[in-house]
Structure 1
Amino acid sequence: MRVVVTRPESSARRTAERLQDLGHQPVLLPLTRAIHHLKIAEAVLANPHSALAVTSAEALRVLSALGERLIPFLGRTLYAVGETTAKAAEAAGFRNIRRGPGTGAGLAKIIASDAPSFDAPLLYLAGRPRSPKFEDGLHAAGVPFVAAEIYEMEPIAYNEALIRGTLLDPPADAVLLYSRENARLFCDFAAPHLQELASLRFLCLSDNVAEIIPREFHRNIKIASHPDEDGVLALL
């Protein structure tokens, strides 16, 4: 299958290698690039907090870039949304990692069960844009927290000829969608060509991502049985 990979370049190449190993043809179309805010990360870490929370491996890339300045915080409890983010936390040197089930809502439930022992707010190291479900879950459970935006995902501009060539020369069979924002951007970019891609499969990380897909393509949606890359690739 000819599979469009929409992840940022930093992680898209690893996904492309996995697709090749599975016998597919990856087509790289990164829709966003990460902008890191190291000064914000360093400043918020210095404020009182009971534990850290991350819902994206990109946040760990920001923290890793702090180098030796991160060392004093590596013993703190870190709540990671899922296995991929937890592995990134391990690679960054964190030693006390609590793994979530792969969704922000699920991670909020785990944190809520631990919150009575907190002696300071939880520090959520977030990006922009992001899904509100993790923060909504914390608010609903009455968990005190501070959200700090330490990175942002900036959309990449492509000309129409490149988009058309990527999607239609030859026609793509599937697209991998890992976030609501990437699903929104892909559908915006692909809108002029979607009628020529009537059989394109939208392989989504979760129901939350799938909600963005236009109604006329709902029959083409597949949703991972577990919200991680293994789950998405199993849909191929």
Structure 2
Amino acid sequence: MRVVVTRPEISAKKTAERLRLLGHDPVLLPLSRAMHHPQAAANALALPHSALIVTSAEALRALEAIGSGLKIDGDIKLFAVGEKTAAAARSTGFSNIHTGSGDGEGLADLIAAKLENPDHPLLYLAGKPRAGSLENRLEELGLPVRVAEIYEMIPIEYRLAEIDELVRTRSPQAALLYSRENAFRFFEIFEQYAASFSETAFLCISARTAEAVPAAFRPHVRIAESPDENALFALL
């Protein structure tokens, strides 16, 4: 099966290798690239905080960009949205990690269960754009949180010839969509090539992502049972 992978390049290469091992033909089409803000991360970490929150491995890569100037307190509580983010945190040097089930609201509930009346705000090492569900749920639960935007995802522009080559060689049978913004960007790029995707299955990591798929393609949408790549692969 020819599968379009829309993740940023570092993650996309890992996904492509998994697809090849399963006998699929991956087509890498990263829709965004990360811009790190190491100084914002360093400034945020210098202020008192009771625990860290990360919802993407990209946040850990942004921390690594600080280099030797980053002094990690490996014993501080770190709340990770899912297992892949937790694994990235372990690689960065954190050890006191609490792992959520894969979505922001669920992670907020886990934090509330593990932390009671923290002395300092939680520090959310966040990216831009993001859904905002985590902060909203923490506010509902009465937990103080400080958000530090330490990276942002910048859209990648493609030449018309590159898009033509993708759709004319052989139409993909599936496209992996990882976020609402990811889906919006995909259909923005391929708006004039709708006919080439008439039989493509759009595999969405969440219902929120699926909402960004245009109505004409909704009959071909499949939604992962949980917001992680293993569940997404189960749809292939």
TM-score for both structures, normalised by structure 1: 0.96
Which digits, 9 at most, give the CA deviation of each residue in 1:89-111, with x for residues without a partner?
11111000010110111111111
Do residues 78 (structure 1) and 78 (structure 2) align? yes
Secondary structure of the structure 2 residue equivalent to 1:131: coil
The corresponding residue for 1:220 is: 220
Secondary structure of the structure 2 residue equivalent to 1:73: coil
Q: Return the alpha-carbon distance in structure 2 between the equivalents of residues 93 and 87 of structure 1.
A: 10
The corresponding residue for 2:24 is: 24
1:115, CA displacement in angstroms? Answer: 3.7
Q: Return the alpha-carbon distance in structure 1 between the equivalents of residues 211 and 141 of structure 2.
A: 25
The corresponding residue for 1:128 is: 128
Deviates more, 1:141-150 or 1:64-73: 64-73
Do residues 202 (structure 1) and 202 (structure 2) align? yes
1:198, CA displacement in angstroms? Answer: 0.8
Letter paired with 1:222? R
Deviates more, 1:18-27 or 1:109-118: 109-118
Aligned residue runs from structure 1 range 112-191, under 5 A: 112-191=112-191
Q: Return the alpha-carbon distance in structure 2 between the equivalents of residues 167 and 129 of structure 1.
A: 28
Letter paired with 2:75? G
Supply the RMSD in Å over aligned alpha carbons.
1.2
Which digits, 9 at most, give the CA deviation of each residue in 1:9-52, with x for residues without a partner?
11111110000000000001011010100111011001010000
TM-score for both structures, normalised by structure 2: 0.96
The corresponding residue for 1:36 is: 36
Runs (4+) of structure 1 exceeding 3 A deviation are 67-72
1:177, CA displacement in angstroms? Answer: 0.9
1:163, CA displacement in angstroms? Answer: 1.4
Secondary structure of the structure 1 residue equivalent to 2:119: coil
Q: Return the alpha-carbon distance in structure 2 between the equivalents of residues 131 and 167 of structure 1.
A: 31
Q: How many residues align?
A: 236
Which stretches in structure 1 are left out of the alignment for 5+ residues? none
Letter paired with 1:48? P
Q: Return the alpha-carbon distance in structure 2 between the equivalents of residues 161 and 138 of structure 1.
A: 46
Secondary structure of the structure 2 residue equivalent to 1:127: strand
The corresponding residue for 2:56 is: 56
The corresponding residue for 1:106 is: 106
Q: Return the alpha-carbon distance in structure 2 between the equivalents of residues 168 and 202 of structure 1.
A: 19
Q: Return the alpha-carbon distance in structure 2 between the equivalents of residues 70 and 94 of structure 1.
A: 12
**Are 2:167 and 2:196, in contact at CA under 8 Å, matched by a contact in 1?**
no
